Amino acid sequence: MPLASLNVDTQRSPTPAETALTRRVDLTTLRLFVAVCDEQNLTRAAQREGIAASAVSKRMNDFELAFGVTLFKRLAKGMALTPAGEALLHHARVTLLNVEKIAVELSEYSQGVRGHVRMLANLSAIVQYLPEDLSAFFAAHELLRVDLQERPSGQVVRGIEEGAAEIGICAAEADSRALEAFHYRYDNLVVVMRPDHPLAGRERLLFTETLDFDHIGLHTASSIYLRSQYAATQAGKTMRLRINVPGFDAVCRMVQANMGLGLIPDRAFAVVGAGMGLRAIPLRDDWGRRELKIVVRDAAHLSATGRLMLDYLRAVETDRGGRVG
Amino acid sequence: MPLASLNVDTQRSPTPAETALTRRVDLTTLRLFVAVCDEQNLTRAAQREGIAASAVSKRMNDFELAFGVTLFKRLAKGMALTPAGEALLHHARVTLLNVEKIAVELSEYSQGVRGHVRMLANLSAIVQYLPEDLSAFFAAHELLRVDLQERPSGQVVRGIEEGAAEIGICAAEADSRALEAFHYRYDNLVVVMRPDHPLAGRERLLFTETLDFDHIGLHTASSIYLRSQYAATQAGKTMRLRINVPGFDAVCRMVQANMGLGLIPDRAFAVVGAGMGLRAIPLRDDWGRRELKIVVRDAAHLSATGRLMLDYLRAVETDRGGRVG
DNA sequence: CGGATTGTTGGGAACAGATTCCAACAGCGC
DNA sequence: GCGCTGTTGGAATCTGTTCCCAACAATCCG
C-alpha cells in the first residue's frame, strides 16, 4: 500500500510513542547539529559553539543511536549529510529560529513591554495608514508591541483563520468567510504617470481611458491588481501589462523609468512617490474608492492587548464607522 | 520613537546577546510550561508529565528569573497567564509541534525510509493525478516518503520561493516568477449538473451558455474560480454564485442538492463525483483545457530525493513534455 | 616509495553541575 | 481547621562535559 506514505500534513495530538521520541530531542543537540552541518566539520563546529569536539561527537552519536538513523557520512575530510540529515536540518533550522523568537519576545517583556499583538495586513494598509495609526496607538500604550507581517488580502484572511495572528487588515472585497469584520479606512486609487504622459493634463480619469496605454502591475495576488484586471475585462479589453512588481515604491520607480502607468492608493503615492516628479490623477470609477476592513476570528475572545488594538483601530477613523462583514 | 517597536518579521542572523538568551530555553521547560497552561494548575501538570510538582515549580521560577519576566499570576486556585505568558504559549506550542515533526520524521527514516520530499500542490493535482503518480513513484522507490500540503496555486509558488517545500505543482496560469517551471499534466474542465437540469442533454457546452444558471464556486483563491470569473466578465456577464465551497467533493454534493452548476476538472469528477448520479459535460472553451506545471526553485541544486521526484513527474506524462516557464 | 605529520572522528574515566525527589512549609478560600 | 494551591530546602541521582588517548585517512617531505 504505497499510498499510505502520502502524508497530508494536519494537526494531530501526539501518540504516547511519539512523545517518548520527542523527549529525546533537545535544543543544544539541534544547535550543535546545525553547526556541524554549516561547518561540515566537527572540530570547527565545536570551536564555534565553545565546546569540546569529543562532546559534540558524542552528542551526534547518541542522537543517531536514539533514533536509529544515520545523519552523517563520516568522511576523511569532514562530515557530509545523509538524506535523513538533510530532513533534520530543515526542521532543526525552523525550530531554532522559533526558539530565538521566544527569547527575543520574552526579553522584550522583561524590558517593560506589557503585551504583544500579532497582526497581518495588506500592503495598502501598511504603507498608508498603519504607520500613523500604530504610532498614535503606541503613544497611548507605550508598553505594547506589534508583530506585523505583510500579506495579500486573501492570505491575511487565511492567516487569521489559522491563528497565525490575532488581527488582520485586508481589502473589503476579500472574502472573510467566518471571520468577524469591521470597517477600517477608505482608500482612493490614483493613476501614476510621468508629467510628459498624454494623460498627464487630466484632472480625473476613468480606468477605461487608461487601457490604451501600458500598465505596471502589482503582485498578481494583490487585490488592486485583481480588481483592475476585472475592470479591464468587464470593459471588454485587456490590460497591456509590461511587468509585475512587488511594492508601491517599485511601481513608482517603474513609472519614472517610463515603463507605463501605475495604479496605487493616493496616500501610498503621497508617501512613496513624493519627490519623484510624477503626476497622480484620481480614478473616477466607483471602485476607485476602496474599503479596508479589520478581521478577527472572535472579537469576544481576543486577548486583552488584541482587544485594545481592535478597539483603537475601529475608533481611529471617526467619519464612517460600523460593521461591514 | 514609538515606531521603533513596529517589527516587520524578517530573517536575521542572531546577535551574540540573543544566542545567550536562546540557551536559557529548553524543550522540557517549554513542554512543562504548556502543560501548566493547559491545566491552569501546577500540580495536575506535574502529574500529567510524570514529574514532581516541586520540579515543575522550580523550572517555572527559574525560567521567569532567567528572562526577568512574570509568566503567571499565582492565584489561590491555580495559575493564570500574564500577557507575557500568552505570548510565550503561542511560540512554545509551535516549537513543540515542530520538534514532534522532527521525531516523527526521523523515526520514519529509522524504519527504512531513505528520503523525504516536501511538496506543495493545488487541489486539482492532488485529487486527479498525484495519487496514481505518487503511488507509481513509491512502487519504484519504496524507501521514499512525501509530505504533501494543499494550497491554491498562488500560494504554492510563494511556498516554493520561501523554501517551505522543494517541489510545487500549480496551474500554469499562476505567475511563477523566478522559479523554474516544467510541464506536468493537462486538465479538462467539465460542467457538473443533475440529470434533470435543462442543460443535461448537451454533449458539449460553452461557458457562456451556463451563465443563465446558478453556479457553485470553489474557494475564491482557486485558479478555476478566478479563471471562470474572468471568463464571465469577459462575456459581459456575471456569474450567479450561491455559495463557495472548499473542495471538488463539496461541489458535487452541492450540485446533488440542487444548488446549481459546478465547474471542476474531468478526472476530479471521475474520482469524487462517480456514483452520485450526476452528469458531467465537457467545456468547449479553449480555457477548458488547462495546464498544470511543476515548479522548483533551482533544479540544479535539488536534493537527491527531490531530483528523483522531479525527474519522475516530468517523465510521467509522455505525450507532451517540455518546459513551459 | 616510505614515513612522518596533520587533520579528522571515536571512546573511556573522572569530574562538575544540573535535575530530580521527598518532605515539610506557607498562603488562600470555604 | 481542612483542603486546595504553589514554594522551599537538602540529599540522591543522573546527565553532560572535559580531558586524554586511540584509530584512521590524506598529505607532505625526504
Residues B87-96 pLDDT 10s: 889 899 999 9
Query: Is the pLDDT assigned to residue B5 strictly greater than 60?
Result: no
Report chain A residues whose CB lies below 8 A from the CB of B3: 131, 134-135, 138
pLDDT tens profile B19-56: 667 788 889 889 889 999 988 888 888 888 888 888 88
Query: What's the first-to-final CA gap in chain A, in angstroms?
Result: 47
Report chain A residues whose CB lies below 8 A from the CB of B175: 220, 244
* Structural domain A186-289, CATH architecture: 3-Layer(aba) Sandwich (3.40)
Query: Is the pLDDT assigned to residue B12 strictly greater than 90?
Result: no
Confidence at B64, pLDDT banded by 50, 70, 90:
confident
The CATH class of the B114-325 domain is: alpha beta
- CB–CB of B302/B160 below 8 Å? no
Please report residues contacting nucleic strand C, using a CB cutoff of 7 A: A 41-44, 53-54, 57-58, 60-61, 74, 76-79; B 26, 28, 50-55, 58-59, 62, 76-77
The residue among A195, A164, A167, A165 whose CA lies nearest residue A180 is A167
Query: Is the pLDDT assigned to residue B17 strictly greater than 80?
Result: no
Signed CA dihedral, A141, A145, A151, A153: sign only: negative
Higher pLDDT, B322 or B138: B138
The reported pLDDT for the residue numbered A305 is 86
Query: Is the pLDDT assigned to residue B149 strictly greater than 60?
Result: yes
What ranges in chain A are assigned the alpha helix state H?
16-22, 27-39, 42-49, 53-67, 83-110, 123-128, 130-140, 153-161, 223-234, 248-256, 266-268, 304-316
Q: How far apart are CA A85 and CA A38, in angstroms?
A: 12
Confidence at B324, pLDDT banded by 50, 70, 90:
very low
- The separation, in Å, between residue B321 CA and nucleotide D22 C1' comes to 57
**What number of C-beta contacts closer than 8 Å exist between A and B?**
207
Confidence at B322, pLDDT banded by 50, 70, 90:
very low
Please count the other Cβ atoms lying within 10 Å of the Cβ belonging to residue B4. Answer: 8
Per-residue pLDDT of chain A (325 residues; tens, 9 = 90+): 333 344 443 344 444 555 567 778 888 888 888 888 888 888 888 888 888 888 888 888 888 888 888 888 877 777 788 888 888 888 889 999 899 888 888 888 887 777 889 999 999 999 899 988 998 888 888 788 888 988 889 889 989 998 889 999 999 988 888 899 999 999 999 999 999 999 999 999 999 999 999 999 888 778 898 889 888 877 878 788 877 787 898 899 889 989 899 999 999 999 888 888 999 999 999 999 999 999 999 998 888 889 999 999 999 875 433 334 3
How many alpha carbons fall within 13 Å on the CB side of residue B283? 26
Partner residue opposite B7 with nearest CB, options A91, A147, A244: A147
Find and list the nucleotides of strand D having atoms within 7 Å of a protein beta carbon.
Answer: 3-10, 16-21, 24-26
Q: How far apart are CA B297 and CA B166, in angstroms?
A: 7
Containing A292, the helix (H) or strand (E) segment is strand A289-296
The reported pLDDT for the residue numbered B79 is 86
Per the DSSP assignment, residues forming a β-bridge with B214 are B240
Q: Which fold has domain A115-177+297-316?
A: D-Maltodextrin-Binding Protein; domain 2 (3.40.190)
- The separation, in Å, between residue A76 CA and nucleotide C2 C1' comes to 21
Inter-chain residue contact A7 with B146, CB threshold 8 Å: yes
Inter-chain residue contact A84 with B230, CB threshold 8 Å: no
Q: For chain B, where are the E strands, in sequence order? A: 6-8, 72-75, 78-81, 115-121, 144-150, 167-171, 180-193, 214-217, 240-244, 261-265, 279-282, 289-296
Cα-to-chain-centroid distance, residue A70: 36
Nearest CA in chain A to B234: A233
The reported pLDDT for the residue numbered A13 is 46
Compute the mean pLDDT over every residue in chain B, rounded to the nearest whole number: 85
Partner residue opposite A69 with nearest CB, options B6, B109, B234: B109
Cell numbers 517523465 correspond to what residue? B315
Determine whether the distance from the CB of A54 to the nearest atom of strand D is below 7 Å.
yes
Q: How far apart are CA A283 and CA A45, in angstroms?
A: 59
The residue among B308, B292, B316 whose CA lies nearest residue B183 is B292
**Residue range B15-110 in CATH 1.10.10.10:** yes
The reported pLDDT for the residue numbered B305 is 85
- The separation, in Å, between residue A55 CA and nucleotide C14 C1' comes to 15
Q: How far apart are CA A126 and CA A138, in angstroms?
A: 16
* DSSP characters over B46-95: HHHHTS-HHHHHHHHHHHHHHHT---EEEETTEEEE-HHHHHHHHHHHHH
Per the DSSP assignment, residues forming a β-bridge with A116 are A145
Find and list the nucleotides of strand C having atoms within 7 Å of a protein beta carbon.
Answer: 7-12, 19-24, 27-29
The reported pLDDT for the residue numbered A18 is 52
Signed CA dihedral, A307, A180, A130, B163: sign only: positive
The amino acid that residue B240 corresponds to is: R
Domain boundaries of chain B, sorted by first residue? 15-110, 114-325
Q: Mutation target for A interface from B98, B208, B241: give the one with most A CBs within 10 A.
A: B98
Report chain A residues whose CB lies below 8 A from the CB of B98: 91, 94-95, 98
| Burial per residue of B82-102, b for 16 or more beta-carbon CB atoms within 10 angstroms, e otherwise | bbbbbbbbbbbebbbebbbbb
The reported pLDDT for the residue numbered B108 is 81
Inter-chain residue contact A147 with B69, CB threshold 8 Å: no
Partner residue opposite A2 with nearest CB, options B23, B28, B135: B135
pLDDT > 90 fraction of chain B, expressed in percent and rounded: 33
Q: Mutation target for A interface from B72, B89, B102: give the one with most A CBs within 10 A.
A: B102
Q: How far apart are CA B289 and CA B286, in angstroms?
A: 6
- CB–CB of B158/B307 below 8 Å? no
* Structural domain A16-110, CATH architecture: Orthogonal Bundle (1.10)
Higher pLDDT, B25 or B143: B25
Partner residue opposite A106 with nearest CB, options B28, B88, B149: B88
Query: Is the pLDDT assigned to residue B325 strictly greater than 60?
Result: no
The reported pLDDT for the residue numbered A197 is 95
Q: Mutation target for A interface from B99, B110, B120, B123: give the one with most A CBs within 10 A.
A: B99
Cell numbers 498608508 correspond to what residue? A128
**What percent of chain B is helix, strand and coil (3-state, nearest 5)?**
45, 20, 30
Whether the domain at A16-110 and the domain at A115-177+297-316 fall into the same CATH topology: no
Cell numbers 444548488 correspond to what residue? B259
Q: How far apart are CA A194 and CA A251, in angstroms?
A: 12
> Per CA to C1' distance, which residue is closest to C21?
B52
Higher pLDDT, A22 or B195: B195
Q: How far is A318 from chain B (nearest CA, A)?
A: 23
Report chain A residues whose CB lies below 8 A from the CB of B28: 23, 26
